[in-house]
Amino acid sequence: MPCIFCIAVFAMLAGAVTTTVLDQLEARLAAEARTPVRRTVDSTSAAKFEFDFPAPPLAGRRHSPAVPVALTVYKQSRRVRIQVLTHDLQRAEVEALEDRIAGIAGLRIVGRSGPEGERKVREAVDAESRSRSAPVVNPPWQASWPQGQR
């Protein structure tokens, strides 16, 4: 359920995204991630890493919770998408988290998702949550049953 993401590029990479580059990226992320970094995709065109990362510290918060993150490397274009996979953080917190991950990974952020697109996704997620929590008094599938078979 990603809402907020950014697109980054490798700051110092002049050549191709090789296995060595991905291994170095994984090691940098693993040094600060709260969970093991998992390479869930590694094809000729993309590699995807998933891990939990500490949220930025906030005033009044005793500790920083770990939030799920996905980092996808698009090998041919040498671009990276950093997705924060939670709706529990405010935009400023997500941007600070993206900046921190980009810094650790040696990336330069070149674009971020916009609030309008994020609003639409948040509304859809909120509507889905409300429909799941509402009790179903007479489920639609019962309406077709003959009276004596309930």
Please compute the mean of the pLDDT values over residues 112-128 and round it to a whole number. 69
Question: Which one is the CATH code of 4-56+63-129: 3.30.310, 1.10.3470, 3.40.50, 2.60.120?
Answer: 3.30.310
Query: How confident is the model at residue 1, as a pLDDT?
Result: 41
Please spell the DSSP secondary structure of 61-125, one letter per residue: -SSPPEEEEEEEEETTTTEEEEEE--SSS-HHHHHHHHHHHHHHHTEEEEEE--HHHHHHHHHHH
The answer, yes or no, to whether residue 97 has pLDDT greater than 60, is yes
Sorted by where each begins, the domain ranges of the chain are 4-56+63-129
- Write out pLDDT tens, residues 42-64: 999 999 999 999 988 765 666 77
Q: Mind listing the pLDDT tens digit for each residue in 12-45?
A: 565 677 888 889 999 999 999 999 999 999 999 9
